[in-house]
Structure 1
Amino acid sequence: MTDCGCEKARRDLEEYLRNEVCKTQHADIAEHLEHCPACQDEALVATTLTEVVARACKETAPEELRDQVLARLRAVQASH
């Protein structure tokens, strides 16, 4: 294994975090992250952002808001 460097680690970070890189690349990026605080911070930000977005996607709008949005969409469609 060899340290892949910041440029490659950051370029492939999203794929790495989703386990979408080959084993060799995964090992190289993991090794780099062990020794690079700046890239560790980037990985933490990416992981946190992914978790927040996933959590937000599970939320649903209140029924009243949903009804208002649908009514407005129907009104706009009817006028065109």
Structure 2
Amino acid sequence: MSDCGCDKAKRDLEEFLRNEVCRTEAADIRAHLEHCESCRSEAALSVTLTEAVQRACKETAPADLKDHVLARLRDIKAGHEAKSAPAL
């Protein structure tokens, strides 16, 4: 196991955090993070952002907003269909 260096740790950080690197690379990155405050801070920020996005994706829009958007889309669709209908 060796220290992979900041460039490699930062390049492979997202894959490392998603457990998408081989064991050897994961061990090297883990070792690097133990000794590098800068990369460890970047990893912590990435984890925080990922968790925030995951929480946001679980939220649902209020029903009245959904109804408003769908009604607006129907209006737009109806307007386009009226413009493209052949004149008789």
TM-score by length of structure 2 reads 0.89
Query: Runs of at least 4 residues of structure 1 off by over 3 A?
Result: none
- The alpha carbon displacement at 1:73 in A equals 1.0
Give 1:77's aligned amino acid: K
Which protein has greater RCO, CA pairs closer than 8 Å, 6+ apart? 1
TM-score by length of structure 1 reads 0.98
Structure 2: 5+ residue stretches without partners:
81-88
- The alpha carbon displacement at 1:78 in A equals 1.6
Structure 2: distance between partners of 1:12 and 1:76: 44
Structure 1: 5+ residue stretches without partners:
none
Is 1:58 aligned to 2:58, yes or no? yes
Question: Which residue in the other structure is 1:42 paired with?
Answer: 42
* Cα displacement string for residues 42-75 of structure 1 (whole angstroms, at most 9, x for unaligned residues): 0011000000000000000110110001011111
Give 2:53's aligned amino acid: V
Question: Which residue in the other structure is 1:74 paired with?
Answer: 74
Identical-pair percentage: 66
Which structure: larger Rg? 2
RMSD value, Cα: 0.5
Is 1:32 aligned to 2:32, yes or no? yes
